[in-house]
Amino acid sequence: MTTQIFYLKGSSEDEVAIQRAAHVIRKGGIVVFPTETVYGLGASAFDEEAVLKIFRAKGRPADNPLIVHIASLDQLYEVISHLPVEEETLRKLANWLWPGPITFILPRSQKVPAMVSGGLSTVGVRMPAHPVAQRLIELSGVPLAAPSANLSGRPSPTRESHVLEDMSGRADVILLAGRTPLGVESTVIDLTTSPPRLLRPGPVDPVRLQELLGMEIEINDAARGLITQERPVSPGMKYRHYAPSKSLILIEGTEEFVLTVMREFIEIHPSAVICSVQTARALGYEDHVLVWGEREDLFSAAKNLFELLRQAEKLPVDVIIAEGVNEKGIGLAVMNRLRRAASEVIKRTSL
Ligand code: TXA
Ligand code: MG
């Protein structure tokens, strides 16, 4: 397949490229586009054949559902059958959090083919905040079913080079607009259960969600990335989302504990280290250290994580060692992704 690639510059010329992409969507094609979280691979959510092309292009299992992206609240009512919560509650959530990095699981309307949701009776819906994503949905005139634009089993793409690596020759059109600002996928919350259940932590802090909902939400071990659910509520959780080609060892604990374990590994194996500035400095290991930023800057950790994992895999090392971060706010999303990618977690629970 030949792929048409457009580099968007934030100027008026972008419109022509986005129009071209929208035309391709209307004809049943598939298009890579930037969002504020990660790049997505989209097709018309109402076109079953086009949606099938997405599963094929990614090599994605058919039972792992896609998120439907909308540009207006009117489109929300096209893709859901009814509201499982008070309309007032949903309006409040949408007013405060959309457009933005959060996906709501709601009952699916008949208009959305079951294939989009991997056969489930629900559908994940998100209104992205990126101007290119919004314009593409508007010009296409339909909601876009879109997973992250990586090959299945690879980290989600946050840079142009990642998209080109994974999707050249697989998508009809690729729209490139630099790095994605947040770098980690949207928060996914199921509103069809009582209490609402966090299925995937992301940039929206669960504490903020609880405030807006006025109730506790369920955050179980699967959401924290501690276990893989046997009968998953969110099919995506049963797959080891991303399994690096080299062993990834995650170390959780005090600074001293992390440094001690890292030193032991470095001595025995050629290692790549993914860590904070502070740890890099204290470790004094120059060879293959990949730094995300200050330890408490959890947004930097999220923004850089997938890129550092892709870099680490390419280094001439046997092992990748990563430092854990604080589980608060977006840190919970970072830990969920790291724990699910890790082949081993080394943790000090008490002194
Ligand atoms: O930020 C994002 O969410 C990005 C951008 C492109 O919007 N998209 C993304 O899509 O990460 P994907 O397909 O890589 O991840 C979707 C996740 C999966 O874990 C899937 O299982 C879950 O959302 N999901 C989608 N629809 C669902 C549903 N109806 N019920 C339960 N989980 C659902
Ligand atoms: Mg994905």
Q: Is the confidence at residue 193, as pLDDT, over 70? A: yes
Q: Within a domain: residue 225?
A: no
Mean per-residue pLDDT for 273-280?
97
Same domain, 207 and 257: no
Mutate to test the pocket of ligand 1, among 234, 336, 337 (most ligand atoms within 8 A of CB): 234
Cα 246 to ligand 2 centre (Å) = 20
Q: What is the CATH number of the domain that holds 331?
A: 3.40.50.11030
Cα 285 to ligand 1 centre (Å) = 37
Cα 235 to ligand 1 centre (Å) = 9
Same domain, 103 and 174: yes
Q: What is the CATH number of the domain that holds 89?
A: 3.90.870.10
Q: How confident is the model at residue 62 (pLDDT cuts 50, 70, 90)?
A: very high
Helix (H, G, I), strand (E, B) or coil at 132: helix
Residue with tokens 């309309």: 87
Same domain, 165 and 266: no
Q: Within a domain: residue 238?
A: no
Range 13-22 contact pairs with CB under 8 angstroms and sequence separation of 24 or more = 14/132, 15/135, 17/175, 18/132, 18/135, 18/136, 18/139, 18/175, 19/139, 20/173, 21/136, 21/139, 21/173, 21/175, 22/136, 22/139, 22/140, 22/141
Cβ–Cβ under 8 Å, residues 225 and 339: yes
Q: Within a domain: residue 240?
A: no
Percent of the residues in the chain that have a pLDDT greater than 70, as a whole number: 95
Q: How confident is the model at residue 227 (pLDDT cuts 50, 70, 90)?
A: confident
Q: With a 6 A CB cut-off, is 331 part of the ligand 1 pocket?
A: no
Mean per-residue pLDDT for 58-67?
95
Q: With a 6 A CB cut-off, is 133 part of the ligand 1 pocket?
A: no
Last residue of a domain, one of 199, 219, 239: 219
Which residue range is the domain that position 284 belongs to?
A: 247-347
pLDDT at 296: 94
Q: Within a domain: residue 141?
A: yes
The string of pLDDT tens digits covering residues 94-132 is: 999 999 999 999 999 999 999 999 999 999 999 999 999
Q: Within a domain: residue 227?
A: no
Cα 187 to ligand 1 centre (Å) = 9
The letter for the amino acid at 19 is Q
pLDDT at 240: 58
Q: With a 6 A CB cut-off, is 185 part of the ligand 1 pocket?
A: yes
Closest CA to 350 of 253, 264, 249, 227: 253
128 CA closest ligand 1 atom index: 7
Q: With a 6 A CB cut-off, is 186 part of the ligand 1 pocket?
A: yes
Question: How many structural domains are present in the chain?
Answer: 2
The string of pLDDT tens digits covering residues 230-260 is: 444 566 665 557 888 899 999 999 999 999 9
The string of pLDDT tens digits covering residues 308-346 is: 999 999 999 999 999 999 999 999 999 999 999 999 999
Same domain, 180 and 38: yes
Same domain, 183 and 258: no
Mean of the per-residue pLDDT values for the chain? Answer: 94
Same domain, 215 and 251: no
Residue nearest to atom 18 of ligand 1 (CA): 236
Q: Within a domain: residue 230?
A: no
Same domain, 194 and 251: no
Same domain, 212 and 254: no
Mean per-residue pLDDT for 146-162?
97
Q: Which ligand is nearest to the CA of 154?
A: 2
Same domain, 255 and 298: yes
Same domain, 169 and 264: no
Q: Within a domain: residue 224?
A: no
Q: Give, as residue ranges, everything with CB less than 5 Å from ion ligand 2.
A: 148
Burial of 278 (0-12, 13-18, 19+ CB in 10 A): middle
The letter for the amino acid at 176 is L
Q: With a 6 A CB cut-off, is 38 part of the ligand 1 pocket?
A: yes
Same domain, 267 and 192: no
Same domain, 29 and 108: yes
Q: Is the confidence at residue 295, as pLDDT, over 90? A: yes
Cα 183 to ligand 1 centre (Å) = 15
Q: Within a domain: residue 311?
A: yes
Q: With a 6 A CB cut-off, is 120 part of the ligand 1 pocket?
A: yes
Q: Which ligand is nearest to the CA of 155?
A: 2
Phi, psi of 241 (to 5 degrees): -45, -50
